[in-house]
Chain A
Amino acid sequence: MKLTLKIWRQANQDAKGAMHTYELDEVSEDMSFLEMLDVLNEKLNADGEEPIAFDSDCREGICGMCSLMINGEAHGPEVTTTCQLHMRSFNDGETITIEPWRAQAFPVIKDLVVDRSAFDRIIQMGGFISVNTGAAPDAATMPVPKDKADRSFDMATCIGCGACVAACPNGSASLFLGAKITHLGELPQGQAERNERVVNMAAQHDHEHFGGCTNIGECSAACPKEIPLDVISQLNKDLRTAMKQGR
């Protein structure tokens, strides 16, 4: 395959960035998208140019490190992470535009790498359960209904990649927030801190300059883990309950 790549280049957080165009030949359709970028970087290295910085870690779709806005879609055209996207999803001779996640809360560090520590701070405000550690309790001491366990587990598949924010026209992280709230709220262990959690995490979300949700649904459509929109309803419901109970 022969490709024309239009890629955002930015030297550092304070520098002004711009789109650069690269031609890449002999791309195999069996390559992953990130391998294709690796090949481009080898070529840039050989030419004495600065390679393109982009995030990746596990390259098996479970860590949430890779990102990339590909032709206007977060993680590209398939429902998966960028690392699990393959070049067979593109056509020979195609022009591919690659941009970093765009959000006030996710500043560009370099080229396609953004700082997603805003998510860490939201988690820090309540995305956990406070328990005394010690010997593991008997499995049967705290029964969890199957449907609740399933829903909790499904929402726990959120890897915090930030695609929801990248795809949202309001730059909102409501889907991420909703996934965390639902994941912990469905379990008995999550009840003690339930009100405090939703208020603190929602306040940190706003503090990080994420926008408000307009229930448009772009987030869920972009989510590589297919987190459904109903987690945002759950988030809203939990916040309303917390407000009613004086938080």
Chain B
Amino acid sequence: MATDTLVKNARAARTTIALKLAMATSGLIFIGFVLMHMYGNLKAFGGRDAFNKYAEHLRTFGEPMLPHEGLLWVIRVVLLVALVVHVASAAQLAARASKSRPVKYEVKKNKHSSISSRTMRWGGVALLLFIVWHLINFTIGKVNVSGGATTDPFNLLVDSFDVWWLTLIYLLAMLALGLHLHHGTWSALQTLGLTNSARSRKAAKTTGLIVAVVIAGGFMLVPLFTLFGVISK
């Protein structure tokens, strides 16, 4: 029901736009992270030593200024905070959106919106579930579905992606990531107020496409090339 009252003591930080700004900022942190993560994964093409050395270097980075695994823990805390902010604001905005149209249309056409923009919410939930599995798989649990050793990161990687169904799960997740990044990147730039002309809007959308293809595509390389035996023990 519409109101007939006016807001008193309006604050910028309490608007939905502030929630969107929180989503955009935390999203940009994720883009930076997945870009770095994708680059690191490509080390698998260099073989066992290159990959394992990279993994070890992540832990010794900044020593002796930082303690062992110091940088890793800084990144983990930042990512965890960003995740909480991202999911909490998404949940609030989604709840608002579902209440804003209590009676649905009999017929409703999509005239402009992309598939990626329309799958942001469920795609985001799918990615969250994937991240939980991914951490169990490679970080917290170190689950080797082939039953081999888990102490060697390269060994765990090859054993995992030699299994077709696990590779398929990862490829589907990367498809979801690509869709999420495609709309998310441009949307973040728009929310931050950086697309105030037709030209900058086009540039932001192109950036979104490039980010999605480079990151999701880059991630897909390692599982695919492992499955087809190019990357092997």
Q: Please list the residues of chain A having a beta carbon within 8 angstroms of any beta carbon in chain B.
A: 6, 8, 19, 69, 71-73, 97, 99, 102-107, 115, 117-118, 121, 124-125, 167, 169-172, 198-200, 202-218, 220-222, 228-230, 232-240, 242-243, 247
Contacts and interface: CB of A to CB of B under 8 A. Distances in A.
Given A69-B105, A115-B2, A125 B97 contact: no
Interface of B: 1-7, 10-21, 93, 96-97, 99-114, 117-118, 120, 183, 186-187, 190-198, 200-201
Contacts of B14: 203
Given A230-B197, A235-B17, A125 B7 contact: yes
A214 B112 contact: no
Nearest to A237: B193
A200 B113 contact: no
Most chain A beta-carbon contacts within 10 A, residue among B3, B99, B111, B183: B111
Given A107-B1, A217-B113, 8 more contacts: A6-B106, A69-B105, A97-B107, A104-B2, A200-B10, A215-B191, A229-B190, A230-B196
A218 B99 CA distance: 18
A196 B152 CA distance: 59
Given A73-B111, A213-B20, A125 B6 contact: yes
A100 to B, nearest CB: 9
B105 A217 contact: no
Contact of A208 (B3, B113, B187, B197): B3
A203 B7 contact: yes
Nearest to B21: A240
B190 A247 contact: no
23 contacts: A69-B105, A104-B99, A171-B97, A171-B100, A171-B101, A198-B12, A202-B10, A203-B10, A203-B14, A206-B15, A208-B2, A209-B2, A211-B96, A214-B97, A216-B118, A221-B111, A230-B201, A233-B193, A233-B194, A236-B20, A237-B196, A239-B17, A240-B192
Contacts of A239: 12, 15, 17-18
Contacts of A236: 17, 20-21, 190-193
A172 B201 CA distance: 20
A214 B98 CA distance: 13
